[in-house]
Amino acid sequence: MEKSNILIEKLSEIKDKRREQGKRHPLPMLIIIAIMASMSGYIGYRAIGDFIKANREELLKIFEPKKDRLPSFQTIRRALIIMDFEEFSKKFYEWASSRINIEETEWFSMDGKAIRGTIKGDKYYEFTNIVSLFSSENKKVIYAGKVENKSNEIPLVQKMIQELDLIGINITIDALHCQKKLQK
């Protein structure tokens, strides 16, 4: 059986954790709208709502929702908050890797960045850290993994290299990862 290389079909494989009564709009539609909004420069949940209003007619044509009802930014926010980020990242990687031909001589970059806007309390050190694999040639993020603290980046990078079977390619990475003893 041939694997699908259509993004919305890949996203359909993600487990929807919403209650049954909270599933008026399919999860893949919510994710695609969030992706489209962010790619169009609408960053943040309220901005997603602005994107939906600005592109209402086109979104109705694309998704053909029941009763011509598009989701609100609150609906998208609730769905994204409870969605499994790692599952999303893996499905996105499967889709992206099917779209991009990776050559053995190609260069990739792998780096972690703290997202400071995710602080939930008054504690300074509470943040989300995302480690991404970036294709320098294609200028695209191929995969992203999430860690809760900057000090946890080393095991995540090693896990990503193993899981993604990144053998025979060139990866530039911080000196932090030059370890004599590999962690398992």
Which domain range does residue 66 map to?
Answer: 7-83
pLDDT value, residue 181: 67
Question: Where a domain ends, among 83, 108, 128?
Answer: 83
Is residue 105 located within the same domain as residue 172? yes
Is residue 60 located within the same domain as residue 105? no
> What is the Cα–Cα distance from 64 to 102, expressed in whole angstroms?
35
Q: What is the pTM of this model?
A: 0.67
pLDDT-based confidence at 126, cuts 50/70/90?
low
Strand (E) or helix (H) holding 141: strand 140-147
Residue that wins the pLDDT comparison between 171 and 105: 171
Largest CA distance in the chain: 60
Is residue 104 located within the same domain as residue 79? no
Query: Is 92 within the bounds of a domain?
Result: no
pLDDT value, residue 4: 52
Question: Where a domain ends, among 83, 108, 129?
Answer: 83
Strand (E) or helix (H) holding 39: helix 27-39
pLDDT(147) > 90: no
pLDDT-based confidence at 25, cuts 50/70/90?
very high
Averaged pLDDT, 121-126: 54
Distances (CA, A) of 183 to 4, 94, 155, 166, 171: 34, 26, 6, 17, 18
Is residue 34 located within the same domain as residue 68? yes
Distances (CA, A) of 13 to 38, 39, 122, 155: 22, 22, 36, 27
- In this structure, are residues 119 and 127 in contact, taking their beta carbons and an 8 Å threshold? yes
Is residue 67 located within the same domain as residue 132? no
Residue that wins the pLDDT comparison between 157 and 70: 70
Please give the mean pLDDT across all residues of the chain: 82
Distances (CA, A) of 69 to 50, 64, 79: 15, 9, 17
Distances (CA, A) of 51 to 119, 157, 181: 25, 34, 48
Is residue 76 located within the same domain as residue 128? no
Is residue 104 located within the same domain as residue 173? yes
Query: Is 89 within the bounds of a domain?
Result: no
Is residue 30 located within the same domain as residue 79? yes
Q: What percent of the chain has pLDDT over 90?
A: 34
Mean pLDDT is lowest, of 28-42, 97-111, 141-155, for 141-155
> What is the Cα–Cα distance from 103 to 4, expressed in whole angstroms?
22
- In this structure, are residues 161 and 93 in contact, taking their beta carbons and an 8 Å threshold? no
Averaged pLDDT, 117-123: 52
Query: How many domains does the chain contain in total?
Result: 2
The separation between CA 118 and the C-alpha centre of its own chain, rounded to angstroms, equals: 15
Do strands 107-115 and 128-135 pair parallel, antiparallel, or not at all (unpaired)?
A: antiparallel
Is residue 17 located within the same domain as residue 65? yes
User: CATH number for the domain including 122?
Assistant: 3.10.20
